[in-house]
Amino acid sequence: MRPDPKPIPRERQGDIMETLSVATRSRCEMRDITAQVRDLVARGRQQGRRNGALLLFSPHTTCGLTINEGADPDVRRDMVRFFSAMVPQDAGFDHAEGNSDAHIKTTLHGPSLMLIVEDGQLQLGRWQSIYLCEGDGPRQRTLWAQWLPGEDSTRP
Residue 18 CB coordination number (10 Å): 16
Q: Return per-residue pLDDT of the chain as tens, 156 residues.
A: 556 665 544 544 445 789 999 999 999 999 999 999 999 999 999 999 999 999 999 999 999 999 999 999 999 999 999 999 999 999 888 988 899 999 999 999 999 999 999 999 999 999 999 999 999 999 999 999 999 988 764 433
Report CA torsion sign: 116, 122, 125, 131: positive
Cis peptide before 138 (omega within 30 of 0): yes
φ and ψ at 40, to 5 degrees?
-60, -45
Q: In the chain, what are the domains? A: 17-149 (2.60.120.460)
pLDDT given for residue 7 in this prediction? 53
What are residue 127's DSSP bridge partners? none
pLDDT given for residue 81 in this prediction? 96
Q: What CA–CA distances, in Å, run from 153 to 50, 97, 149?
A: 7, 50, 11
Which pTM does this prediction carry?
0.87
CA atoms of 87 and 57, how far apart (whole Å): 23
Q: What does R_g of the chain's alpha carbons equal in angstroms?
A: 17
- Coil, strand or helix at 38: helix
pLDDT tens, residue by residue, 64-83: 999 999 999 999 999 999 99
